């Protein structure tokens, strides 16, 4: 009788083998050894096949029956065999023969000087053939049945099979390298940047100090979650970064992951949307599943407006694939617990088109605004990028930062890169201030087109056009200091008048706007006054003047006639599905009054510009003559012409004057420009923008 097992005794647990965790950032690489072996095997088979065919062709001669009969009568045929291939329905004679002297040169012979032959005969054996053979010493002919069906089938299909195998192998490797199988359309396309590869930190991000302060607590949470959880606090699930293109939204997201030392998943909003129904939603679910497996981590969705646009606002409405993807994203964000350590960061420059459900608390709890950098931020950005290039010690990054208002971080990086390329082209050892200034003008206005063939008449027109802008800029009180005037074509413009703001401007005063409008009219007025004709070169000035005038009337409340009322809903971008049926919000009579007021403001600026230029006619002539002679003048040289009637320090002829002032000369606070008092009323100009043809 078997003894019952004691219930208290349990079998000993065997130690589990250690689980090898694969780095999610490293996919299965291609099996290059298998690739090489497969290609070598295929090549050997093909070479053997074709070598066999070529060898047979060189050792066997295809003869006609008449030629065979001639060799037979001459006694040069050594043996005869009748070959029958039933599958192909053909018969032929084969054997050895002694070829003629001509054929011996092109054929492969055995030691006895013989070679093979082949003579195809009719399917119905000729009745005279046996007589001919018997008369020439071959009364008995051996027969041989040949079955080549298998080999022929193999020879016919082998190239096709090899081609299919090669295509399958390479497609398989490509799919494996992409981290998915042939039918895994629903897998996430998120590209993971492991903490070992992500070297970006907050030190690499400049010009967005407020944004870095806002996201710094995310870094602290990922490093030490208990610090926030012990007080009952809940870290935001999602952070929405809003700002113009090139301001560093993606870079800041990578810096958060780099500072927190966690994996970083990066994906674009357009990667979710496919032509197949349900693929986008599946990819969303898979992306969040991956994030949970590697938590704590950051999931970054760039250009989220591609998938997060408002639902139901498409033309005709409807429930399309994009809306399904958005619904899946909303559900997954609700299902995430920040205690798991998964933080969602999204970036967009079109917050106005996002679905309100994305922006509610519990999803994207916090909005981080990343604007264009100010003058201090631009200087910091320039210094960060300057570490990667070799520049002269006397380069003033502060001066360059002050001369680049409105530039994003990406544009500033492009300026430094263009300067490095310019210095390399002239074999310089380091970047100079002049290189940086030229690169700035190239990025903003385009490259100098000195090869453009301009007639003397066109040069004169451009010179007077730019002289009108420059004169009004110096004559009016509320304009930015004049930096440079040039008649060298740049980009689409034939000339440029550049103003350099003293500081960044975040609002517009009425006096400043009116003076800028007046400066914009200076080019057209100078053409009328000095040349007796007008050109299309003032189209850009007219466009800017009209824009300013409409803003004054409709948005800024700077019109005494229309009052402090906003006319219409003014948005920088139009969302077709939402705005297609929107009315302008005012009557036809009001629209007519707005048009009249805009026309009056622009016309007033034109008349004011004409009055000032008439009073300074001789000075405009001098500026235009200097431009025709030197092509480019800086602000100080134009000021000398206006104050003294001549230039005290003229530039070299035919060479652009140096546009980079020294730091002490750059700031108008150190050397103020004496303004010519305007006897008329108050009127227009353009804010730091080129006023030129």
Helices and strands in the chain, H and E counts:
23, 14
Task: Render the burial of 126-143: b for 16+ CB within 10 Å, e for the rest.
Answer: eeebeeebeebebeeeee
Residue 131: helix, strand or coil by DSSP? helix
Q: Looking at the DSSP assignment, which residues form a beta bridge with residue 265?
A: 192, 299
Active site residues: 466
Compute CA distances 682 → 263, 433, 480, whole Å: 59, 37, 15
Q: Are 579 and 572 within 8 A, CB to CB?
A: no
Instruction: Give the strand pairing for 482-486 and 496-499.
Output: antiparallel
Burial of 479 from C-beta contacts in 10 A (0-12 / 13-18 / 19+): buried
Would you give the distance in Å from CA 330 to the centre of its chain?
A: 29
Distance CA 225, CA 212 (A): 19
Helices (H), 304-345: 321-334
Alpha carbons within 13 A on the beta-carbon side of 262: 27
Would you give the distance in Å from CA 659 to the centre of its chain?
A: 31
State the DSSP string of 361-377.
TTTEEEEEE-----HHH
Task: Render the burial of 304-334: b for 16+ CB within 10 Å, e for the rest.
Answer: bbbbbbbbeebeeeeeebbbbbbbbbbebbe
Distance CA 361, CA 301 (A): 18
C-alpha closest to that of 470 among 630, 639, 608: 639
Question: Around Cβ 685, how many Cβ atoms within 10 Å?
Answer: 31
């Amino acid at each position: 009788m078997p003894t019952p097992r004691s219930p208290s005794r349990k079998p000993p647990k065997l130690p589990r083998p250690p689980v090898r965790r694969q780095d999610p950032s490293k996919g299965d690489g291609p099996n290059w050894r298998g690739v090489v072996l497969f290609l070598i095997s295929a090549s050997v088979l093909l070479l053997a096949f074709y070598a066999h065919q070529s060898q047979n062709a060189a050792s066997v001669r295809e003869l006609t029956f008449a030629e065979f009969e001639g060799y037979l009568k001459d006694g040069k045929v050594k043996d005869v065999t009748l070959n029958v291939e039933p599958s192909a329905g053909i018969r032929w004679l084969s054997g050895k023969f002694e070829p003629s002297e001509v054929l011996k040169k092109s054929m492969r012979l055995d030691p006895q000087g013989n070679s093979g032959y082949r003579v195809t005969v009719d399917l119905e054996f000729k009745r005279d053939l046996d007589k001919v053979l018997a008369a020439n010493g071959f009364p008995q002919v051996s027969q041989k049945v040949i079955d080549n069906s298998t080999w022929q089938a193999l020879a016919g299909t082998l190239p096709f099979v090899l081609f299919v195998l090669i295509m399958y192998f390479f497609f398989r490797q490509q799919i494996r390298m992409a981290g998915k199988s042939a039918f895994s359309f629903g897998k996430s396309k998120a590209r993971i940047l492991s903490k070992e590869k992500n070297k970006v930190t907050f030190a690499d991000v400049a010009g967005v100090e407020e944004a870095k302060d806002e996201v710094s607590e995310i870094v602290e949470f990922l490093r030490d979650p208990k610090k926030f959880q012990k007080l009952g606090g809940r870290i935001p699930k999602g952070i929405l970064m809003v700002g113009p293109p090139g301001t560093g939204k993606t870079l800041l997201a990578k810096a958060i992951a780099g500072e927190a030392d966690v994996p970083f998943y990066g994906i674009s909003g357009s990667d979710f949307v496919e032509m197949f129904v349900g693929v986008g939603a599946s990819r969303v679910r898979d992306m969040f599943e991956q994030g949970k497996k590697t938590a704590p981590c950051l999931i970054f969705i760039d250009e989220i407006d591609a998938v997060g646009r408002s639902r139901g606002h498409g033309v005709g409405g409807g429930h399309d694939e994009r809306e399904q993807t958005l619904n899946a994203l909303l559900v997954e964000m609700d299902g995430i617990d920040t205690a798991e350590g998964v933080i969602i960061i999204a970036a967009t420059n079109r917050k106005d088109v996002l679905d309100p459900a994305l922006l509610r608390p519990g999803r994207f709890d916090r909005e981080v605004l990343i604007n264009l950098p100010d003058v201090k931020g631009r200087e910091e950005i320039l210094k960060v990028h300057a570490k990667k290039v070799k520049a002269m010690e006397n380069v003033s990054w502060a001066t360059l930062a002050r001369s680049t208002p409105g530039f994003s971080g990406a544009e500033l990086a492009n300026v430094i890169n263009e300067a490095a390329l310019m210095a390399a082209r002239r074999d310089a050892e380091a970047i100079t201030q002049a290189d940086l200034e030229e690169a700035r003008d190239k990025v903003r206005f385009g490259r100098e087109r000195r090869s453009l063939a301009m007639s003397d008449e066109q040069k004169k027109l451009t010179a007077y056009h730019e002289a009108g802008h420059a004169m009004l800029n110096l004559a009016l009180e509320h304009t930015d200091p004049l930096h440079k005037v040039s008649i060298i074509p740049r980009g689409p413009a034939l000339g440029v008048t550049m103003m350099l703001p003293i500081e960044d401007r975040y609002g517009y005063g009425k006096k400043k706007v009116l003076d800028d409008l007046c400066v914009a009219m200076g080019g057209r007025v100078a053409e009328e006054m000095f040349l007796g004709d007008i050109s299309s070169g003032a189209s850009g000035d007219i466009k800017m003047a009209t824009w300013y005038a409409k803003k004054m009337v409709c948005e800024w409340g700077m019109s005494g006639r229309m009052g402090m009322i906003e006319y219409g809903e003014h948005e920088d971008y139009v969302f077709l599905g939402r705005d297609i049926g929107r009315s302008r919000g005012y009557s036809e009579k009001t629209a007519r009054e707005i048009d009249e007021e805009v026309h009056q403001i622009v016309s007033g600026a034109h008349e004011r510009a004409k009055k000032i230029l008439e009073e300074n006619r001789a000075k405009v002539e001098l500026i235009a003559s200097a431009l025709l002679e030197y092509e480019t003048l800086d602000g100080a040289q134009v000021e000398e012409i206006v104050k003294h009637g001549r230039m005290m320090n003229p530039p070299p002829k035919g060479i652009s004057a140096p546009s980079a002032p020294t730091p002490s000369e750059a700031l108008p606070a150190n050397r103020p420009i004496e303004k010519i008092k305007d006897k008329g009323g108050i009127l227009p100009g353009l804010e730091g923008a080129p006023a030129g043809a």
